[in-house]
Amino acid sequence: MDLHIVWFVLIAVLWTGYLVLEGFDFGVGMLLPVLGRKEKERRLIINTIGPVWDGNEVWLLTAGGATFAAFPEWYATMFSGFYVPLFMILIALILRGISFEYRSKINDATWQRRCDQGIIVGSWLPSILWGVAFANLVRGVELDADHEFIGGFWSLLSPFALLGGAVTLLLFLTHGAVFLALKTEGETRVEARRLAGYFSVASVLVAGSWAVWAQLAYSVTWTWAAVAVAAAALVGVVVANSRAREGWAFTLSAVSIVAAVVLIFGSMYPDVMPALDPANSLTVTNASSTDYTLTLMTWVAVILTPLVLLYQGWTYWVFRKRLGVHHIPEPIGLPSLSVPRDPA
């Protein structure tokens, strides 16, 4: 198999890892104001993803870096064409990361509320915009003969792309609710399972509609298999969740996201950046780096990828136990943001 095809598949795998892992912690962040009515409940919810959320983001950095090195013209066209939505995602991720890191530093209600708002915004915005971006990659964008993006921001917000944003939003909400049901105990577990039931049913309807639209308008025959797997997995989430089988529900939720990525990348191939005029599309061939670069990248990936996977797997194993409100210790941050006044 040609190396540029190998790296197209590897980049799809990296995006799969990112969307499966970051998908549930986006979902947890979006559900923070719904399930965290009291301060200890909010800390419980944040602690379920506290040890892993930043490790999950490594997959995004790796996917971006691999795209830059393996398909530099794809990287350049995509990041210039999707500049506004990707910049919004970047700001949201920075805001979210800062909120996670500094929320516990100060034991002040106003400070904690502002950090919670940062987590919520930083989870909602990428959940929608990633779906919009990937739907545009399936539909095709306005490229000229030099493969330069000539559309504007509003051209990215077609009905198909907006429905794609709704799909990722619902998939991540389902994934996050199931994860919370799997990782918590007591009332939070019960409430998360109840919400997962609503979100999973909505996901079947909305994701199913988008997938059929994508198949009929933009995709190829063999990706019907991915649609079938995604549909079966989402129905399985509904059934497993209703029977309180959270482990199965989480696994099937992950399978539905994997199948969605297969549908997206399968629909794009052999293009990496389809154009509305097919003659202007960037393909795995005309957008790839040299064979020497791809060979060097392949050896680095073969050596380092198993180590990264082992380390991340070990992290999840160490923090595998359920958490309850009684596990949350008293806060140890500074008492307040306010500066004492000078008595004089």
pLDDT at residue number 334: 75
Asked whether residue 123 is assigned to any structural domain, the reply reads yes
Asked whether residue 313 is assigned to any structural domain, the reply reads no
> Which two three-digit tokens encode residue 114?
């502002």
Asked whether residue 310 is assigned to any structural domain, the reply reads no
CA proximity to 137, closest of 222, 84, 79, 92: 79
- For residue 10, name the pLDDT band (cuts at 50, 70, 90): very high
Residue 343 has pLDDT above 80, yes or no: no
Q: What is the pTM of this model?
A: 0.94
Highest mean pLDDT among 152-156, 175-179, 284-288, 333-337: 175-179
pLDDT at residue number 228: 96
Instruction: State the residue range of the domain holding 196.
Output: 7-289
- What CATH number did the domain enclosing 168 receive? 1.20.1630.10
Residue 1 has pLDDT above 80, yes or no: no
Residue 130 has pLDDT above 70, yes or no: yes
Q: Could you say which DSSP state residue 283 is in?
A: E
pLDDT at residue number 116: 95
- Please, what is the average pLDDT of the chain? 92
- The total domain count for the chain is 1
Q: Cα angle at 120 between 117 and 125, to 5 degrees?
A: 120
Work out the average pLDDT over 71-76. Answer: 93
CA proximity to 203, closest of 259, 157, 156, 155: 259
d(C-alpha 323, C-alpha 116), whole Å: 20
Asked whether residue 207 is assigned to any structural domain, the reply reads yes
Asked whether residue 88 is assigned to any structural domain, the reply reads yes
Asked whether residue 316 is assigned to any structural domain, the reply reads no
* Count of Cβ atoms closer than 10 Å to residue 1 Cβ: 6
Asked whether residue 247 is assigned to any structural domain, the reply reads yes
Burial of 92 (C-beta count, 10 Å sphere; 0-12/13-18/19+): buried
> Which two three-digit tokens encode residue 46?
């944040």
Summarize pLDDT for 281-309 with one digit per residue, the tens: 999 999 999 999 999 999 999 998 899 89
> Which two three-digit tokens encode residue 184?
């918590």
* Count of Cβ atoms closer than 10 Å to residue 151 Cβ: 13
d(C-alpha 94, C-alpha 32), whole Å: 18
Asked whether residue 180 is assigned to any structural domain, the reply reads yes
